[in-house]
Amino acid sequence: MTPAARVAATIELLDRIAEIARPADGVVSAFFRGRRYIGSKDRADIAERVYAVLRHQARLGWWLARLGHSDDGRARVMASLALIDGRSAADIAGLFDGGQYAPARIDAAEREMLARIDGQSIDHPEMPDAARWECPDWAAGPLRAVFGESTEAEAAALLLPAPLDLRVNEAKATREEVLTALAQDGIGAEPTPLSPLGIRVAGRPPLGAHPLFRNGSIEVQDEGSQLVALLVDARSGQQIVDFCAGAGGKTLALAARMAGKGRVVACDVSEGRLIRAKERMKRAGIDNVEPKKLTSERDKWVKRQKGKFDRVLIDAPCSGVGAWRRNPDSRWRPTDIDRLTALQASILSSAGRLVKPGGLLIYATCSLLPPENEERVAAFLAAHADFEIVPVAEAWAVTIGGECPSDGPFLLLTPARHGTDGFFAAILRRSTPDREEGPEPPRPDPSG
């Protein structure tokens, strides 16, 4: 494809993302599947441009509004070429020449717009913080409350492309074996700094067809997600629930840690997600997982299983703020925080019933916002006096070892500080009543 044809494809794809109520990565994949004639290098170039525009959405929108120009895929690509790439107005006009497979010629209004931004950069002194941070208004205040003077650095890190992290399946390989095999195949990789099971891969090699992936020795999983699964402290022979299992990433990590002994119940309200999880379990050689579809967080099954599980993990539905760098379009989807926090509270209250005395309840989100994290835990503890906080440093020493990366009682991982997705986790222990510590003494015989 010519450079102009790639620009035209980028515009078409951006307009399609704006029209379809689906995550951008799914729209991008479908777009390329329907255009097999587009080569791999062209696909990479088009996708890179699309995601660059999505990562600069608020700033590009601010510029277009400031210039009084219409806001669509064509205008955003033009503005991105000027403000992000530093291309001159003349260069951009050369790409929009109306030739075969090229975008239509630049009109008078577009020519004026390009002249006004010629030589400018994407950031501007008059730009408000929320636009500069690429942050929707509903999240800007809570992020500032958490990070204070570091908010700008955290927001900038959430705009960077996420690395490709792998988790080694303990049931099939060691990290050293996987690193050696990847190196032999010319794939650059190194151990992740925090997770003892993690590998960070250089670039974006096509791992889906690699033997290590096909035989289940590796899974794609962010290092932060790996750490949350490790903090569950899954042990052989235990009974464990992954209450919001989704497609099973953490479920697989828990089951592998248990060495095939014991049981993990993978719960979700989506049959489709559980089906995908089953496929991953088969590839990973995991056979101690029981998928369980729930009608809701208050399914009757929960009441029947009350107090039967050693560990209950809740990877709660959330705003996904901590994963913005993976899904740059998700920050602009309508988000009802009040609805989410009400759902999180209901899930915590219901799933907490599953924990046996002395067992652990692990509440996690990929959010960085206090209403979804610390405030949810505080509200749960206020209503459930039989649970207490296990300080994350204490749990870290037992499950991972080394220096815990978080201060305070909870785990809080961020892209800027730790190089992971943003994750929160709280570990709560259910108290053991004194009467359950041993058998009751025999009652005196009243007959004397």
Structure confidence by residue, pLDDT tens digits, 393-408? 999 999 999 999 998 9
Asked if 421 and 413 touch (Cβ cutoff 8 Å), the reply is yes
Last residue of a domain, one of 98, 127, 156: 127
Helix axes 337-351, 374-383, angle to 10 degrees: 40
Rounded average pLDDT over 90-115: 94
Helices (H), 247-400: 249-257, 271-284, 300-304, 337-351, 374-383, 392-399
CATH of the domain at 190: 3.30.70.1170
CATH number at residue 378: 3.40.50.150
93 lies in the same domain as 19: yes
* 260 located within any domain: yes
Domain that holds residue 37: 3-127
Instruction: Indicate the number of domains in the chain.
Output: 3
Pairing verdict, β 423-430 and 263-268: unpaired
Calpha distance 361→249 (Å, rounded): 18
- Evaluate whether residue 151 is within a structural domain: no
Residues β-bridged to residue 266:
242, 291
Average pLDDT, the chain: 93
237 and 374 fall within a common domain: yes
Question: Can you spell out the DSSP letters for 7-61?
Answer: HHHHHHHHHHHHHSSS-HHHHHHHHHHT-TTS-HHHHHHHHHHHHHHHHTHHHHH
Q: Give the Cα separation of 199 and 164 in Å (integer).
A: 8
Residue 259 lies in a domain: yes
Of the three residues 174, 202, 220, the one that is the final residue of a domain is: 220
Say yes or no: 123 and 179 in one domain: no
156 in a structural domain: no
Distance in angstroms (rounded) separating the CA atoms of residues 349 and 439: 30
| Three-class secondary structure of residue 289 per DSSP | strand
Residue 74 placed within a domain: yes
CA 2 to each of CA 6, 38, 94, 311: distance values in angstroms, whole numbers, following the listed order: 6, 11, 12, 56
- Domain membership of residue 133 (yes or no) is no
| φ/ψ of residue 166, rounded to 5 | -120, 150
- In this structure, the answer to whether residues 114 and 257 fall within a common structural domain is no
What the block records as the tokens of 124 is 């501007």
Q: Are residues 47 and 102 in the same domain?
A: yes
pLDDT tens figures, 342-366: 999 999 999 999 999 999 999 999 9
Catalytic residue positions, numbered: 366
214-269 residue pLDDT tens: 999 999 999 999 999 999 999 999 999 999 999 899 999 999 999 889 999 999 99
The length of the chain is: 448
